[in-house]
Amino acid sequence: MPVRPRIVFVNRWVPLFPEDLVRQHWGHLEADLVLCHSQDPDELAAAIAPATALVMAWNKTLIDERILAESPRLRLIQKLSAAFEDIDVAAATARGIVCCQNAGTNAPAVAEHVVMVTLAQRRRLVPGHIGVTAGRWEPIEMMAAGLHELGGATVGLIGFGQIGQAIAERLQGFGVHLLVAQRRPVAPALIDRYRLTQLPLDDLLAASNVVSVQVPLTRETTGLLDARRLALLPDGATLINVARGQVVAHGPLLAELQRGRIQACLDVFDAEPVDPQDPLLHLPNVLLTPHLAGLTHEVRERVLALAGRNLAKMLAGDTDFEGRIHL
């Protein structure tokens, strides 16, 4: 008798992906669905060993050669997030295992977050709220400290994949000057559509009032914005990071912020959760959120649906996967 396919969902965030919702999306598939909540490496390896497909949300344990070697039936690894640094993709690919990520399902949410924090920081929304709730009424003082419209500002986008393009789409009505830096040339159709200019990274940093970072974490992007590059930002510029904390060098960023030269809106950090002793938490020129830019109910529905489509394709022998990771 043929062995029935098994889908193992490693889910350390049960409140985000409750079992009834997962089964609502994938329960119709001709496979056994097993939910694993452990992050213990040995328990995780034992749970994955009989899997035909592995689905992961945000995992703390690296799916490495040891785990892959003990999982001879594994054919698909599906991430529900965009990041895949918790998978040894090269080792998996060498074994014929297809690796996929969320294929931009979170792009609308992240783009809205970038626009939201840009407006909030330029109009000093959080300090204004805190001041009123503390009994202060300081519109003139806040104006003197700097209140700026987004219209007419120069916005630089580092990375112009699905998230970068979604940000550009949402900025169209604000009358900004849009700059883009990425390794590949931007397609002429996108340049025309968004009326943007592609520049080298250093030139973009020096020319932008607002810079948003949305690149994957790779060997090349780790420490991409170092002390030299951060110093290129104009006085009063706002740096937004919705990529990964390690893309921006923490020490140099902290130094620039402590001098009060720039502002920052950070959704990602070197260590998560942030160390309570980190001086970053006590600066007046930062707006901090707990890695939630891509977390909405709508994203959750889209990513579960996408994973379901890829799982169905794997079971049917189809290889046209969405969000396939190519090294």
Model confidence over 190-243: pLDDT tens digits? 999 999 999 999 999 999 999 999 998 889 999 999 999 999 999 999 999 999
Q: Which amino acid is at 268?
A: V
Give the pLDDT score at 1: 58
Closest to 244 in 3D by CA, of 280, 219, 210:
219
- Quick one: average pLDDT of 92-105? 94
**Confidence category of residue 103, pLDDT binned at 50, 70, 90:** confident
* Average pLDDT over every residue of 169-177: 97
Instruction: Give the H/E segment covering residue 308.
Output: helix 297-316
pLDDT at 109: 97
Which amino acid is residue 279, in one-letter code? P
Structural domains of the chain ordered from first start: 6-103+296-316 (3.40.50.720), 107-288 (3.40.50.720)
Q: What is the pLDDT of residues 60-97, one digit of tens each?
A: 788 999 999 999 999 999 999 888 888 999 999 999 99
**Does residue 135 have a pLDDT over 80?**
yes
- Phi-psi sector, 96: left (phi>0), alpha (psi -120 to 50), beta: left
The 10s digit of each residue's pLDDT in 253-269 is: 999 999 999 999 999 99
Percent of the chain clearing pLDDT 70 (strictly above): 100
Determine the average pLDDT of the residues in 166-186: 97
Lowest-pLDDT choice from 54-63, 162-171, 188-197: 54-63
- Which pTM does this prediction carry? 0.92
Instruction: State the Cα–Cα distance between residues 326 and 228, nearest whole angstrom.
Output: 31
Q: What is the mean pLDDT of the chain?
A: 94
For tokens 């960023």, the residue is 253
Neighbouring C-beta atoms of residue 287, cutoff 10 Å:
20
So what's the pLDDT on residue 113? 98
pLDDT at 3: 81
Provide the pLDDT for residue 37. Answer: 85
Burial label for 178, CB within 10 Å (0-12, 13-18, 19+), is buried
Residues with catalytic annotation?
244, 272, 291
